[in-house]
Structure 1
Amino acid sequence: MGHASDPRPEASLRPQEGECGMEASLQTPALTAIPGGRRRLGALLVADGLVTQHQIEAALARQQLDRRRLGEVLVREGLVSEQDLVDALAEQLRLEVADLDQVYFTPEILGLLPRDFMLNRRVLPLSLEEDGTLTLAMTDPLDIVALDEVRLRTKRNVRAAICTETAFEEACATFFNTRGKLRELGDESDAPVADEAALAHDASIIEIVDSLISDAVSMKASDIHVEPHAGGLHVRCRIDGVLHKLREYPSEVQAGIVSRIKIMGNMDIAERRLPQDGRTSFETAQGDAVDLRLASIPTLHGENISIRILEVSPLPPTLDSLGLTGASLERFEEAVRRPEGGILICGPTGCGKSTTLYTTLELVKSPESKIYTVEDPIERKLEGVMQSEVKSAIGLDFASLLRTLLRSDPDMIMVGEIRDAETARMAAEAAITGHLVFSTLHTRDAASTVRRLVEIGLPPYLVAAAFTCVVSQRLVRRLCPQCRKRRTVRAAAWEKLGLGEAPRRQMRVYDAVGCTRCFGTGYLGRVGLYEVLTLDEELGEMIERNAPVRELREAARAKGVESVRQDGVRKVLDGETSLSELTRVVA
């Protein structure tokens, strides 16, 4: 250990039975996967006699409902203690358990990391080995973002030991006097509104907010939800379409955190009764610049803050990297090569419509063409594209902007969303007068998009004449290639999932497992499921006579058009996603 001359140990690390001391720990910030795989947590707890198989199955069912980790469910239900859970996780992950009751933190050790960073990321430095390796106590040793940041901050190799949340809190209360600090902030939070801005500028509050936003960006989250509850403030972030818990803060700091975020977004901190919107730019601890869109909503226990992280990562280089492949890709590319016509991208909120549109515009733009966009808001900045943003407060809506752009000599126009009859009619008329028009609609599939346009107010003949291609899409999480596990599914089991007739008697599929590379989720990124329907002459005639949606779907299948579900089945069989993920999204 780093300070052998002191009679008190810096940390007591209890190697798990069958391990070989510290050498059995995971050695790198990335927490490399365990060779040969690892036993599932539930199996370990059952083998140790702590729970029954029936209790595990019941807990797994509850886990699906509230999206918590299995261990959290078991502790919350009182089935296992925190220490039992930590011991089992240590055995599963081949880590050591840090006994923080025996810890002596030297000034040299504590000085390696900022106090607020340690409190926010739930890490404590325990010891420095002779080779310079830093050992950390962590409540979540799968927090790869924290491990990477410690490595970057200290310029050292790091390795993790696991500890209970209670032990961590007690150690922090002893050595950092966090209880006193929280009381201090809590007293300030009860101050008049005139003093609330000062609380929001408290250094501790600023670091808390900056840290949680930086971490969410590092984890490639699309949204952050700051949620008030009776017992304090919960922070969750949406990664690959699924919400994950990021932080929990006591009620003493709730007002400061909310006020800080509102100040960042130029919102009125004195107004807590009405919803507000804001926007800001932010630079993360890693130096990445992002744009944030903020919204506050009054709720029972205080203001809920939603933060949309506008995309900063590079666009996919090709359409097939989005998941658009085969005949679907060919039909779509043929449509975008035409000089005129309307192309619609359809699906629910958050299904990747904007990414598909932006990627398409990036690929079709050229020095010989003029491209305008009408957006609400502008989510990405595209070089060489004239982007305009709707401003409803001053009467600048989709229709009025589109009307102006049509007088500005465009070759291509992207309308962020068709929301009303006027916008729909103007987009359709632009598409039949020599312009290539892209837009989006919130519909279930390609065939129902046609019906939706008629319901909005477009006559069927105009729909048939103006629109050449309709794309319906969804997003599913992509399996982590490092830890996915193969299994065989029989036809009978397949058909019980509601996915239609099984393609074979037996299918090889992959399940999500979870490792450090994918933050224990089993998934890494997302891939699109696509249906691409070309509105040819036959379908145009069906639209003009107002054929039912069912007939349009049947005609599309007869032409070999894959549905979103069929594309998903193919991606399951190719090992890109799992059966459970497909049924979650398209069931």
Structure 2
Amino acid sequence: MATLPSPPSTHLSGLARSLVQRGLLTEKDAEDIQTQARGAATHFVSQLVLGKKLGALEIAEFAAQTFGYPLLDIDAIDTGSLSMNTLDIKLMQRHRVIALYQRGNRLTVATSDPTNLQALDAVKFQTSLAIDPIVVEDPKLDKLIHHVLESNDTSLGDLGDEDIDLEFTDDEALAEKNAEASTEIDDAPVVKYIQKILLDAINAGSSDIHFEPYEKLYRIRYRTDGILYEIATPPLAIKEKIASRIKVISKMDIAEKRVPQDGRMKLVLSKNRAIDFRVSSLPTLFGEKIVMRILDPSSATLGIDALGYDPDQKEYLLHAIHRPYGMVLVTGPTGSG
């Protein structure tokens, strides 16, 4: 009596199992490649391309046809239009996905393995958006991820375990910084926590950070694209330490808690990138509420051509700018640029 061929091993990944079922890989080859990928801390598709069992385009075409996702030549897209701040850099590296564009509550992501549900779930969890995968060739995806990493001067992964260089601009602030150095050792977790909050806000492209005390909770919110999102609820026990730390680095009076105060600080991320923060504190019934406005010069590096002027309006503007006298007023609501 003829015996039916046994199905592929159930411990193979979705893409590996499909390749075996279609006869493009033997089960032994698929298992060996998957074991090698785990040992090298890489992904199945990357190891498959590296082993030259199948070509990158052949794998991408197979995945797109088998699982019903669009296939995209990623070289054809404009990297300047990518949603760079949508996903965390570490998530992109770990799961080999990259955000292409967002429409409403849907985010289109490029991946070389659409069966990697762990990666898609991680993206969905971080963004709270519905995910639309698009299949791309793995080497081209790797190249694009490296391009994003190179264009990002400083990522949270680079600075998460290090002290941030806070640049103080006057002698009094420097003296205060030195005086606080010994006490900061005891508050190291709070210092690192605030560093993470600041870096996450910069990477997310947020415009403001709100530290808000209430009777039974303390919450931190980011303002991104005009909308406030709650991102953390630290313990009430550290609310005073958070407020004091922010006031110290913003050159505000930490002893005065009964009147509003304004301050500013500069965060030096690298030799060619620094972020300014404008800080305001306001006393409330349950503690000091603090709002930090992020002033990132790199977010406003647009040329006149990118502003959308009609040709005649652009000509009027350039004519006014080049006059040796007078001034050009650019007005609008707070936060509009």
In the superposition, the TM-score normalised over structure 1's length comes to 0.29
Larger Rg over CA atoms? 1
In the superposition, the TM-score normalised over structure 2's length comes to 0.47
